[in-house]
């Protein structure tokens, strides 16, 4: 049985800011190597794992999930050893006061640090309604200015430090569930595919640099040239002030001009046949997921997007329901079972 909590807890704890994802790729590669025929890390750092099919005429399905995380870089070293930071990926500065972080030092150490905040007793009346910004936030490592300059440089990366929390009702909270929850789904699917017959070759891509421009997915799609692609990412769950996907009620399936109608229909049919909830997620534009880059690779790739609902996206307390992850593994597995020569021929006329 797949140990969801172990894998989620481990993979979300790994350092892997956009552009420096190798430790995540290496861990996944070790985890899945016994269950696939080939793995390799390509030029841009994305991990590709190939689960070979048994068909005589085989298509190629690419399943893409990104493994990079949002964070910051050191923008300046201030008097007293404090650090000014700049975001790498989308991080709202309003959430940062009093947050814990880790600064990657020149020699690779992960140095603990905290974003400074003014105690309420000391806030001047005219300052009370002002919102924190990157101009005013500073990071405190506890080191002297001299030590900071020895161990940290301009451009040193910074990531959130956050615990993995097992909540009630099979829900989990952590940093980097965007998108390592989906990477975990890919790992679970790989292991599930060892139990079934499938004709097509399945290329699982654990892509890099999604948060800064979808780079790993785009280059991997160009290299693989798949017949069909499914991107998986997190989607917005309903929370205070926003109505979206519902936790525990199935992943979302995107519909819109960027997603091939045949692939969308076939995934919906699978979910219906398996009695799996699959709410529709309208999308007028490609958005900021791997699907946007994959769809326009080479001459175009028939593409779909599955979204795992999470709350509090791009914060250290992203929150998911494990049922949605398990539903997605079942959808992918059943969809893969249906991929045969007839399906490949049908794509030419879609």
Q: Which of 319, 323, 177 is CA-nearest to residue 249?
A: 323
Count how many residues are written for the chain: 350
Q: Which residues contact 162 (CB under 8 A, 6 or more apart)?
A: 100, 174, 175, 316, 317
Q: Which residues pair with 201 in a beta bridge?
A: 60
Half-sphere exposure of residue 180, counting CA atoms within 13 Å on the CB side?
Answer: 33
DSSP secondary-structure letter at 244? -
Considering the candidates 20, 69, 199, 210, report the single residue annotated as catalytic. Answer: 210
DSSP secondary-structure letter at 88? E
- 109 as an active site residue: the answer is no
Q: Which helix (H) or strand (E) holds 95?
A: none
| Spatial contact of 151 and 94, defined as CB atoms under 8 Å apart | no
Per-residue burial over 276-297, b = 16 or more CB atoms within 10 Å of its CB, e = otherwise? bebbebebeebbebbbbbbbeb
Tokens of 283: 């999308």
**CA atoms of 17 and 91, how far apart (whole Å):** 13
Active site residues: 210
């Amino acid at each position: 049985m797949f140990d969801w909590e172990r894998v989620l807890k481990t993979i979300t704890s790994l350092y892997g800011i956009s552009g420096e994802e190798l430790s995540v790729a290496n861990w996944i590669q070790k985890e899945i190597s016994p269950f696939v025929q080939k793995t390799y890390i390509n030029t841009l750092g994305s991990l590709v794992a190939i689960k070979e099919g048994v068909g005589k005429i085989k298509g190629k399905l690419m399943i893409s999930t990104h493994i990079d995380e949002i964070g910051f870089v050191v923008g300046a070293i201030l008097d007293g050893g404090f650090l000014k930071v700049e975001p790498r990926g989308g991080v709202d500065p309003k959430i940062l006061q009093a947050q814990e972080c880790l600064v990657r030092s020149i020699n690779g150490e992960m140095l603990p640090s905290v974003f400074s905040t003014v105690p309420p007793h000391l806030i001047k009346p005219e300052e009370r309604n002002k919102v924190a910004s990157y101009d005013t936030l500073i990071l405190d490592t506890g080191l002297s200015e001299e030590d900071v300059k020895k161990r940290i440089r301009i451009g040193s990366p910074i990531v959130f430090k956050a615990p993995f929390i097992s909540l009630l009702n099979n829900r989990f909270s952590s940093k980097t569930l965007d998108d390592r929850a989906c990477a975990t789904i890919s790992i679970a699917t790989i292991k599930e595919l060892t139990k079934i017959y499938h004709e097509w070759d399945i290329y699982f891509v654990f892509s890099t640099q999604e948060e800064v421009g979808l780079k790993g997915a785009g280059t991997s799609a160009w290299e693989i040239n798949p017949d069909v692609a499914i991107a998986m990412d997190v989607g917005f769950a309903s929370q205070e002030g926003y109505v979206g996907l519902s936790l525990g009620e199935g992943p979302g399936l995107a519909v819109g001009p960027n997603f091939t109608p045949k692939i969308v229909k076939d995934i919906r049919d699978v979910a219906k046949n398996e009695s799996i909830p699959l709410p529709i997620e309208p999308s007028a534009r490609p958005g900021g997921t791997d699907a946007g880059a994959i769809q326009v690779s080479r001459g175009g790739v028939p593409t779909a997007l599955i979204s795992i609902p999470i709350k509090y996206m791009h914060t250290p307390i992203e929150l998911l329901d494990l049922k949605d992850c398990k539903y997605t593994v079942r959808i992918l597995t059943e969809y893969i079972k249906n991929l045969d020569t007839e399906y490949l021929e049908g794509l030419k006329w879609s």
